[in-house]
Amino acid sequence: MTDDVINDLLSLELNNTPLFQITLDGNRKEHNKVKFTKNGRGTYDIIINNIKNALKAGIPINNRLNYTQKNIDSLIDVLDEYSELTKEERKNLFVDFQQVWQDASNQSARNKALKLASLYRIHSCQVRMDKRLNRGRCNNDMENQATINYNGLVYKCTAIDFKSDNAEGKLKDDGTIEWNNRCSRRMEYRFGNSNCHSCKIFPICHGGCSQVMMDGGNINSACLLGYSEDDKNDIIKKRIEYILENRKAVY
């Protein structure tokens, strides 16, 4: 995200300004434990600087904050990093709290994230938090989406290990992709099942993550996410409360 790169991006004749999703895994100390260069140098300061450069140039950033029980308390420090930005620059900053899937059952971490989200909103950040109340389909379920690894193997999900067994295709010499049966199975799963289609929360749920469905292996189950009728009623109630509180039907 050097000045030259930003200027080149802004000079492209695109219908919309390019949008970046950039992730952090905690404050400087926590993030640098898991994301560092091949020489062991932490990447936190580089990433923060890139985010701020982009925002100052008017490029929208979705800053995904991956949280767990171990790093959730440290994410308050990330808010301080944006204190120098003007209110106008922060309008292009979207903060997306995402609980790491291995830690997803930890309600204590989620409760802390909800409180942090409120604090970020107070400081003029646009926060994306509870997507289950209005879950858009994952980009990975789009037919023409592809995540291409350095070795030419192609994946549909970025929240898995990039092992050959998880690949859903490979990049051919002519630039086309040769998809495999794993990708075909995902395309079958991505729109849920007949139970989903008749469910009262399907318009705000969409059946959930196709990766979860594939891992579960039972697309014909009554509810792919395991929601009871009480759970569904609670989701509807929270959705209505959110719309009334925020006066808008978005995240």
Of 158 and 67, which is predicted with more confidence?
67
pLDDT band at 131 (very low <50, low <70, confident <90, very high): very low
If you ran DSSP here, which 8-state letter would residue 191 be given?
Answer: T
pLDDT for position 156: 92
**Nearest to residue 81, comparing CAs of 24, 163, 1, 138?**
24
How confident is the model over 200-250, as pLDDT tens digits?
Answer: 988 888 777 788 777 766 666 677 777 889 988 988 888 888 778 766 655
Q: Are 166 and 140 in contact (CB under 8 A)?
A: no
Measured between its terminal Cα atoms, the distance across the chain in Å is 28
Phi and psi at residue 226, in whole multiples of 5°? 75, 20
- C-alpha span between 212 and 209 (Å, rounded): 5
E strands, the chain, are: 20-24, 61-67, 93-99, 126-128, 147-148, 153-155, 169-171, 177-179
Question: What percent of the chain is modeled with pLDDT above 70?
Answer: 90
CA gap 191, 47 in Å, rounded: 35
Average pLDDT, the chain: 86
Q: What is the pLDDT of residues 3-47, one digit of tens each?
A: 899 999 889 888 778 889 999 999 999 999 999 998 999 999 999
Global model pTM greater than 0.85: no
